[in-house]
Structure 1
Amino acid sequence: MYDPASPFAQARAPGAEPKAAFALKRLRRAVIECELRPNAECSEPELAARFGLGRAAVRTALTTLAAEGLVTVEPRRGWRVAPVTGALVGDVIRARKAVEPGLADLRLPPDAAARLTALTRMGVALQGREDHQALVTLRSADRQILDQLAARAGGLVGHWLDQAWNQADRIAAFFDLAGRHHRPIGREPLIGALAAGDANTARGEIAAAIAAFQEFATDALFSLPSSLDVAGKGSGRRRRQTGPETTAPQARPHRPTQQGA
């Protein structure tokens, strides 16, 4: 899941950084964690009041989130959180297949490998637990590992991976609402391969993680309850929905493509 402690998005109190930067991190987290539900309409005054943010900061943040594909502008109506659809799942998988294998060429020094291995031990401690909080904790640790690898890659690669993983985290959070929880695979073999300079094994581990996410998301799409489907068949009636009670309108999901990088 989205991790506020990641090196790409470390949220602090509003007084510790510019208000616009804080607003961006807070609203991005709300979208990724589905606090603002997919397909929900929202207005700048509503968001400013709900999250205790300034209107100008909210407007600037929403413009950035639109560029990241997390929200869309609704002319004369406000903003809409981007829906979770089969097309989005397919795009995220294709993006991950295209960019993520490049991490296999990293070489981890012993101190970095030790820090990342310590994060993987959380999975061992939570082994056998299927409660939602345990899975959220596992996903947070997994994201911290990935963020540290992306930070080593740096540049555009790190930026692209951050955006792809944000969308993957949002997909996982959306399916949490339907009781379908993504459990990431263990990363210890990947870390060991990167520490040893074994790029082929590292690429295999990365491919296995992407394939596991693809299988989960595809199965979850086809088992959504009618109250939590992915886009609108519907009535044509639009509601302004930003609260936790919101459900996304219905649509027929379709499988993401199997196309690789």
Structure 2
Amino acid sequence: MYDRNSPFTAKPSALEPRQKTEFAEDRLMQAILWCELTPGSTATEVELAERFGLGRAATRAALAKLSAFGLMHPIPRLGWRVLPMSGALIGQVISARRLVEPALGEAVLSQEALSAASSLAHMITIIGDRVEAGSLLTRRGYERDLMEILLAGVNPIISSFLSSLWAQSDRIIRFLELGGAAPYGAMDADALVEAYRAGDADAVCAARTREIEKFQSFVSLALLNDSSELTMDRGELKPGAPNQKQKQSAPSKEPIRVSSGGRLSNKGIES
């Protein structure tokens, strides 16, 4: 019987519709998380399909899935808007992580999983806080792989939620780094793996709490060091425009500017 998936087949078969949709979803997801699609920007279905070399049907299905995740929003007559970055979003991610990450203390890892996690932690420590593009990408890949191993040991529902929170955290980090923040430092992977090896749930929770606090400090420092000019919104006066109220406008395609002291927006800062 002919097996189209055989490694000896001369040419690989064309992707099935479901595979095309999964590929489109993954590609657009990565574009959002790595800020290839600027937070708050808009694009049509056709523009997205052409930009990333995707089929129209697959793009449409992928956008519907990403919309369900809250990462893309349909905007009448404008197309789709990428989830904007805001102080409220960052705060919600941090709060949710504080609530959910203690569940990692209950993860049960096999010896095989512990061994794999230990190897990844060793590689993360070797790379450390090197900021060369290749080193940074490699280290973060190892960190994601390590956390995926830990997720395999917890409740699948919690695992899915944590994976989403970490993805949002990665997006926030990337967004702030593109705005001029110093690269986010390496996680203390050795301490985390050692806590699992010792079966110490409290130490696991403490390690993750330190990581969340480091993330919060990174965000705060990035915002405080930003030199973007502050403006005001929601009917308040803007500098240089006395007695004139700021009008609401359609979502901008311009990159969002990071400003300290309020909610982030594509117009600056909202009080």
Q: Same fold (TM over 0.5)?
A: yes
Counterpart code for 2:158: V
Could you tell me how far 1:250 is from its partner in structure 2? 6.4
The total of aligned residue pairs comes to 238
* Percent of pairs with identical residues: 35
Does the alignment pair 1:21 with 2:29?
no
Describe the SS at the equivalent of 1:194. Answer: helix
Describe the SS at the equivalent of 2:98. Answer: helix
Could you tell me how far 1:115 is from its partner in structure 2? 0.6
Counterpart code for 2:75: E
On the 8 A contact 1:105/1:194 being kept in 2, the answer is no
Could you tell me how far 1:127 is from its partner in structure 2? 3.2
Question: CA, structure 1 residues 49+28, in 2 after alignment: closer, same or farther (shift >3 Å)?
Answer: same
Could you tell me how far 1:201 is from its partner in structure 2? 0.8
Could you tell me how far 1:76 is from its partner in structure 2? 2.0
Structure 1 counterpart of 2:256, from 217, 242, 248: 248
Q: Distance in 2 between matches of 1:160 and 1:78?
A: 28
Q: Distance in 2 between matches of 1:172 and 1:14?
A: 37
Q: Distance in 1 between matches of 2:27 and 2:99?
A: 29
Counterpart code for 1:33: W
Task: Provide the TM-score with structure 1 as the length reference.
Answer: 0.81
Deviations 1:206-258 (A, max 9, x none): 1111111111012212323428x9x99978665774xxxx5225665438xxx
Structure 1 runs not aligned, ≥5 long: 1-12, 256-261
Which stretches of structure 1, 4 residues or longer, exceed 6 Å deviation after superposition? 231-235
State the partner residue of 1:6: none
Could you tell me how far 1:124 is from its partner in structure 2? 2.6
State the partner residue of 2:192: 190
Task: Map 1:151-170 onto structure 2 (within 5 A).
Answer: 151-170=152-171
Task: Provide the TM-score with structure 2 as the length reference.
Answer: 0.78
Structure 2 runs not aligned, ≥5 long: 1-12, 239-245, 264-271
On the 8 A contact 1:184/1:209 being kept in 2, the answer is no
On the 8 A contact 2:223/2:260 being kept in 1, the answer is no
Does the alignment pair 1:76 with 2:84?
no
Q: Which has the larger radius of gyration?
A: 2
Q: Distance in 1 between matches of 2:262 and 2:252?
A: 26
State the partner residue of 1:107: 108
Task: Map 1:6-85 onto structure 2 (within 5 A).
Answer: 15=15, 18-85=19-86
State the partner residue of 2:208: 206
Describe the SS at the equivalent of 1:153. Answer: coil
Could you tell me how far 1:36 is from its partner in structure 2? 0.7
Question: CA, structure 1 residues 131+253, in 2 after alignment: closer, same or farther (shift >3 Å)?
Answer: farther
Does the alignment pair 1:117 with 2:118?
yes
Q: Distance in 1 between matches of 2:219 and 2:29?
A: 21
Question: CA, structure 1 residues 49+182, in 2 after alignment: closer, same or farther (shift >3 Å)?
Answer: same
Q: Distance in 2 between matches of 1:92 and 1:14?
A: 39
On the 8 A contact 1:92/1:168 being kept in 2, the answer is yes
Describe the SS at the equivalent of 1:152. Answer: coil
Counterpart code for 1:103: L
Deviations 1:64-112 (A, max 9, x none): 1122221222122111111111111101111111111101111322221
